[in-house]
Amino acid sequence: TQLLEQSPQFLSIQEGENLTVYCNSSSVFSSLQWYRQEPGEGPVLLVTVVTGGEVKKLKRLTFQFGDARKDSSLHITAAQPGDTGLYLCAGGPWGQGAQKLVFGQGTRLTINP
């Protein structure tokens, strides 16, 4: 069974600080996706990485896929209260066909003004 472990599970920091969230597995994934979810809503896709060692930037967010495609990290620079939410990583196949994703348990991030 493929599992994804996220750390930390909870993180509360002050506005303006930097942070990193980790997503680790003993399994290899073809793709790794990051989602952000707000209370009472469905998760929203932030990024998909498919190549080992790949780095993608989305404004203040930097996503990295490990060389062995078993782990990923999300780094946020100068965090803002609007970054507050539940961050989920998910791993699975890539391309056409059913994408049966395995989700981590999530990192609940709180940015205090």
Partner 1 sequence: SQTIHQWPATLVQPVGSPLSLECTVEGTSNPNLYWYRQAAGRGLQLLFYSVGIGQISSEVPQNLSASRPQDRQFILSSKKLLLSDSGFYLCAWSEGLGYTFGSGTRLTVV
Site mask, partner 1, residues 1-40, x = CB under 8 A? ---x----------------------------x-x----x
Q: How far is CA 51 from the centre of its chain?
A: 15
Q: How far is CA 42 from the centre of its chain?
A: 15
**Closest C-alpha to 64, from 15, 98, 23, 35:** 23
Candidate list 43, 64, 71, 111; residue touching partner 1; CB under 8 A: 43
C-alpha span between 48 and 64 (Å, rounded): 10
> Which of residues 66 and 106 has its CB atom nearest to partner 1 in the complex?
106
Interface positions with partner 1 (CB under 8 A): 4, 33, 35, 40-45, 48, 86, 88, 90, 94-101, 103-106, 108
